[in-house]
Structure 1
Amino acid sequence: MNQIEVYLEKEIGPDLGSRQKIEELFKNIDSNASKVIMNFEGIDFMGRSFAQEYLNRKHIATFEVIEKNMSEDIQKMFEIILKLNNRL
């Protein structure tokens, strides 16, 4: 099993706002990865468009995506979007 960990603060910065950034990140993940851990440590803000695109990319990814170190605010943002998309 090929597992990698992505530190979002290091890859994108403490403010996750751009939908384009998460598109690029998912495209650049090694195609041999079977499991990707998205580490949200140090993330201060996540915009709605970023969260929407993240969940879309996670849904169609060819690898398993696991989140860790998510703040309560980030968890709530994901829950809101999942509810709106009837995926919860």
Structure 2
Amino acid sequence: MSPTSAPTVRRVLSEVLGLPADSAALHDGANLFELGLDSLGVVRFIADVEAALHLRLPDEQLHAGLFERLDRLVACIDAQRAESAA
């Protein structure tokens, strides 16, 4: 299995949210909306993470609930990476 996308996701989120890259706020259970992610931030995050990981996240997989926990978001991205690699 390929390595997790978690480090890249955390780095991109830290840039979008203006947090330090090693911020403890970006833990697995973090609600990204509570950290200040808004609709424009979601769009920027998606574009940046797709570019960083060389993948396309299908629109139908992207819903508000996905951003309520960082670990859910990482799991979705990892699943898409695995599907793209197959």
Both structures adopt the same fold (TM-score exceeding 0.5): no
Larger fraction in strand: 1
Flag the structure with higher helix content: 2
Q: TM-score, normalised to structure 1's length? A: 0.31
